[in-house]
């Protein structure tokens, strides 16, 4: 085979391979968009983890379509939602730790990494303790979670080289929130559910875990789960709206335009919550 013929043959084989691969993705998951099939996305669709496993990240195209971003942003961010549908199937320890790994790399004040996560897998003795904290309204949808997490943050920090003086950390919850967002983004791209919850008994959580309120703040709970196959999900995904940019961003000082309250949207949201 001459060089030119070989190159043509190789290109043809590559095209067939790509077609086969994208067809397989489409049949398996018609409502999800892999990065490879989005020509606008410049990031690679696969990433090597642990030097052995290949992970394909996916972004829910139905969510992206339902959200009108004024400026083009990464589909990882735009496609993240807090779904409520979970299958109750377990997550492996590796899958869970991968999510906490994402949280680990969040930024924090003075690199204090004040976030703390306590988790329970649904098939373990600890689970009932975690589940008992969740308000009934939330329990209705997170009964099928694979794991429940309580997020806390360390309220104090030490100056480098001086372990004697404890100072208040002004951003402990902010940093824990950043860690939760990293966790949520990783989960979303792996088509897993991460749903934060403030609807739980905080006081009971302090008691159940024996958390010293002088030193730690309990910030939120998270339900983590496996999403149903795309064809078993509600036809329209839950796509929450957002305020306009000029209601929370202004140049030079805080001069935000008041939020225009869209009554029909508010009713829609109230309706949605009352059905939970
Ligand atoms: C700290 C925090 C607490 C939340 N608490 C609850 C909750 O108790 N119950 C619930 O259904 N959703 C809860 N949510 C989810 C929000 O309602 C959701 O993030 C918001 O409506 C935006 O939707 P999205 O995450 O799908 O973009 C919470 C989210 C955060 C960040």
Q: What is the CATH number of the domain that holds 86?
A: 3.40.109.10
Ligand 1 pocket member 47 (CB < 6 A): no
Q: Is residue 264 over pLDDT 60?
A: yes
Over residues 102-124, mean pLDDT: 97
Cα–Cα distance between 192 and 19 in angstroms, integer? 26
Q: What is the pLDDT of residue 236?
A: 82
The H or E element spanning position 156 is strand 156-158
Q: Which of 222, 221, 196, 187 is nearest to 206 (CA)?
A: 221
| Assigned domain for 23 exists | no
**Enclosing domain of residue 210:** 28-245+259-274
Is residue 6 in a domain? Answer: no
Instruction: Please tell me the residue having the least CA distance from ligand 1 atom 13.
Output: 197
Q: Is 120 in the pocket of ligand 1 (CB under 6 A)?
A: no
CA distance 97 to 137: 28
pLDDT value for 53 = 61
Ligand 1 nearest-atom number relative to CA 83: 26
The strand pairing partners of 58, in sequence order, are 34
Ligand 1 nearest-atom number relative to CA 180? 31
- Answer whether residue 237 is part of any domain: yes
Query: Is there an atom of ligand 1 within 6 Å of 138 CB?
Result: yes
Q: How confident is the model at residue 276 (pLDDT cuts 50, 70, 90)?
A: very low
Domain membership of residue 251 (yes or no) is no
DSSP-assigned letter for residue 90: P
pLDDT tens-place string over residues 44-103: 344 444 445 678 899 999 899 999 999 999 999 999 999 999 999 999 999 999 999 999
Tell me the per-residue pLDDT of 250-263, one tens digit each, with 9 for 90 and over. 999 998 888 877 66
Q: Is the model more confident about 11 or about 200?
A: 200
Nearest-atom number in ligand 1 for the CA of 269 is 21
User: Does residue 2 register a pLDDT over 70?
Assistant: no
Residues in Cβ contact with 31 at an 8 Å cutoff, skipping those fewer than 6 apart:
60, 61, 62, 230, 233
Residue 241's pLDDT is: 92
Query: Does 240 contact ligand 1 (Cβ within 6 A)?
Result: yes
Determine if ligand 1 sits within 6 Å of the CB of residue 230: no
- Proportion of the chain above pLDDT 70, given as a percent: 75
Ligand 1 atom 18 nearest Cα: 82
Give pLDDT, residue 272: 55
* CA atoms of 123 and 139, how far apart (whole Å): 17
User: Which residue among 152, 198, 241 has the greatest number of ligand 1 atoms within 8 angstroms of its CB, and so is best to mutate?
Assistant: 198
Q: Is the pTM of this model over 0.85?
A: no
And the tokens for 223?
Answer: 């339900």
Residue 49 belongs to a domain: yes
Give the model confidence (pLDDT) of 200-230 as tens digits: 999 999 999 999 999 999 999 999 999 999 8
Total domains in the chain come to 1
Q: Is any atom of ligand 1 closer than 6 Å to the C-beta of 198?
A: yes
Q: Which of 201, 197, 202 is nearest to 213 (CA)?
A: 202
| 176 in any annotated domain | yes
* 113 CA distance to ligand 1 middle (Å): 23
In this structure, is residue 8 part of a structural domain?
no
List of residues 6+ apart from 112 with CB closer than 8 A: 154, 157, 169, 172, 175
Q: Ligand 1 within 6 A of 197 CB?
A: yes
Q: How much is the mean pLDDT over the chain?
A: 82
Specify the 3-state DSSP secondary structure of 132.
coil
Read off φ and ψ for residue 39, nearest 5 degrees: -65, -20
Q: What is the pLDDT of residue 159?
A: 86
Nearest CA to ligand 1 atom 19: 82
> Is 164 part of a structural domain of the chain?
yes
pLDDT higher than threshold 90 for residue 107: yes
Residue with token string 């509600």: 234
- Structure tokens, 141: 């949808």
Specify the residue with its C-alpha closest to ligand 1, atom 30: 196
* For residue 167, pLDDT beyond 60: yes
């Amino acid at each position: 085979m001459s060089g030119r013929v070989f190159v043509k043959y190789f290109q043809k084989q590559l095209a067939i391979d790509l077609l086969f691969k994208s067809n397989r993705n489409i049949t398996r998951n018609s409502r999800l968009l892999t990065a490879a099939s989005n020509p606008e996305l410049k990031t690679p669709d696969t990433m090597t983890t642990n030097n052995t496993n290949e992970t394909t990240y996916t972004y829910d195209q139905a969510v992206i379509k339902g959200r009108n971003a004024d400026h083009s942003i990464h589909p990882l961010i735009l496609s993240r939602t807090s779904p409520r549908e979970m299958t109750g199937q377990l997550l492996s320890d590796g899958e869970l730790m991968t999510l906490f790994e994402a949280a680990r790399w969040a930024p924090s004040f003075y690199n204090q990494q004040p976030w703390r996560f306590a988790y329970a897998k649904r098939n373990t003795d600890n689970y009932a303790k975690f589940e008992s904290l969740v308000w009934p309204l939330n329990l209705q949808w997170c009964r099928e979670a694979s794991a429940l997490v309580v997020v806390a943050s360390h309220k104090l920090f030490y100056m480098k080289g001086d372990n004697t003086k404890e100072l208040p950390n002004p951003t402990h919850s902010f940093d824990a929130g950043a860690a939760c967002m990293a966790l949520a983004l990783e989960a979303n791209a792996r088509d897993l559910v991460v749903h934060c919850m403030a609807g739980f008994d905080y006081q009971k959580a302090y008691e159940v875990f024996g958390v010293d309120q002088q030193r730690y703040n309990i910030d939120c709970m998270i339900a983590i789960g496996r999403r149903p196959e795309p064809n078993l999900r509600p036809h329209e995904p839950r796509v929450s709206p957002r305020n306009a940019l000029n209601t929370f961003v202004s140049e030079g000082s805080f001069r935000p335009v008041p939020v225009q309250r869209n009554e029909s949207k508010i009713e829609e949201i109230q309706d949605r919550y009352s059905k939970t």
